[in-house]
Amino acid sequence: MKKLLFAVAGFGMIATAIPATASAAPAPECWASISQRQAGIEMQINRGMRTGALTRAEAAQLRTSFRNLQQLEYRYRQSGRSFTLAERRDLDRRFDLLQRQIRAESNDRDRAGQQGHHGNDRNHNRR
């Protein structure tokens, strides 16, 4: 009987805590993670260029996407208030997408300095 009572009491505490945490807005100190994500993305692009995993064109496209994301964040900050939950989710979604693009481009077997399968390899036609 005591086990059942404790289980019901525990369930009741969990059930009341979940709605409270779901409705809570993110704390302002969480926004430092955006700066951290930006620094991480810049490091990933630079590392890809250094190792040759990203071509110059891929890095340029990724940097353009990154700048666009930074400009969007700037516009959100210009409103004079903290980010809304919708703005935060939008930025998070876009950062996630950009990080997936960086991973995909870094692993697509295109290499800096190689023209490969795009038909631009001068030695390919010399057989």
CA distance 98 to 93: 9
Task: Say if residues 98 and 104 touch (Cβ distance below 8 Å).
Answer: no
What pLDDT does 36 receive?
86
Question: First and final CA of the chain: distance in angstroms?
Answer: 85
CA distance 101 to 95: 10
Q: What is the pTM of this model?
A: 0.61
% pLDDT > 70, the chain: 61
Tokens 């001068």, residue? 122
DSSP secondary structure string for all residues of 43-112 = HHHHHHHHHTSS-HHHHHHHHHHHHHHHHHHHHHHTTSSPPPHHHHHHHHHHHHHHHHHHHHHHTSS--T
pLDDT tens-digit readout, 45-81: 999 999 999 999 999 999 999 999 999 999 998 877 7
Q: What angle do CA 40, 67, 88 make, to 5 degrees?
A: 70
Closest CA to 45 of 97, 91, 106, 95: 106
**Ranges of residues in the chain whose predicted pLDDT is under 70:** 1-33, 112-127
